[in-house]
Amino acid sequence: MNSHIIVEKTPELRNILLVEDNPGDVRLLLELLRESGNKNHSLVHVDRITLALETLQKTNFDILLLDLSLPDSTGLASVRQICGAVPHLPIIVLTGLDDNQLAIEAVQTGAQDYLVKGQINGPLLIRAMSHAIQRKKMEEHLLFLATHDSLTNLPNRALFEDRLNHAADQARRNRRGTSPKVNIAVMLLDLDHFKVINDTMGHPKGDRLLQAVAVRLQSTIRQSDTVARMGGDEFMLIFENVTGFEDAKILVTKIQDVFSQPFEVEGTLIHTTASIGVSLYPDDGGDFKSLLQTADIAMYHAKKTRNHYSFYHLLRDCL
């Protein structure tokens, strides 16, 4: 049974994906939705995880109702597959098993709720879906706060470290295969004379300048790259799939161009420049700690002349 079932659509629509292989349970869910008296929903039904994953690639849903006993997936493996494919989608597990331990494990795996089919009615189902959606939004909000800088909304140091280590792992896998050597360029950027700006114009304008720099940096990089705020007036960038030194030089010149025009902050034009240190994976380090250290050494060398960039590998013979 893999045909799609569409229930009446109304304004303020809630799009529901039901993954269930038992026709009787499908009819029960439809009856519960009708019983609730709430017509603000559209239900699409599939009977396999593979079909669910295909459907999720084509259509956005507000929530997913998931049976744990399917022809091509059983137990919490189904929850893991959905979470891996669509991490932002709220999930309610629907099962005939009244099992407290399984319910706890389902939520720990990524579901927002666990309902036993024989113990729910229409209003309870509607309320559970609403709570699951709100709970997922709160989870994502808390995760965002934990992994992003509060001033600029850029990734913070912890998320940057995670992304850099992930990029390094990916590059190592590529090197072991038939792909050509892939480098990563890591840039540590420090604003020149930022303390003077803070002291003369005040910290609020200094903060607005940091926000303006963040926006301009974010608009300059590719979607696959990362810019983060490390703290103070320091930013760090990851550029993946860098083919070598010449490619990295083009990228760092592009970042320098971010500062070629003044930043307008509360009606004031502020001219600022940046000193940039560059380290390359794998030559200058193989993980976050070593790449940050070598980029930091290069940045402090660039800071001696200001508005300059330095590559760590060009400094190694002098250190």
233 as an active site residue: the answer is yes
Q: By CB neighbour count within 10 A (0-12 exposed, 13-18 middle, 19+ buried), where does 228 fall? A: buried
Six-digit token pair at 193? Answer: 């004379």
Amino acid symbol at 184 = I
In terms of Cα–Cα distance, which of 85, 78, 81 is closest to 56? 85
Please answer whether residues 106 and 92 qualify as being in contact, where contact means their C-beta atoms are separated by less than 8 angstroms.
no
- The arrangement of strands across the sheet holding 234-242 comes to 226-231, 234-242, 183-191, 274-281, 309-311
Query: Which residue out of 21, 47, 233, 284 is catalytically annotated?
Result: 233
**Residue 311: DSSP 8-state:** E
Six-digit token pair at 266? Answer: 């509360």
Say whether 269 sits in a helix, a strand or coil: strand
Which are the contacts of 23, defined by CB distance < 8 A and separation ≥ 6?
1
> Which positions are catalytic?
233
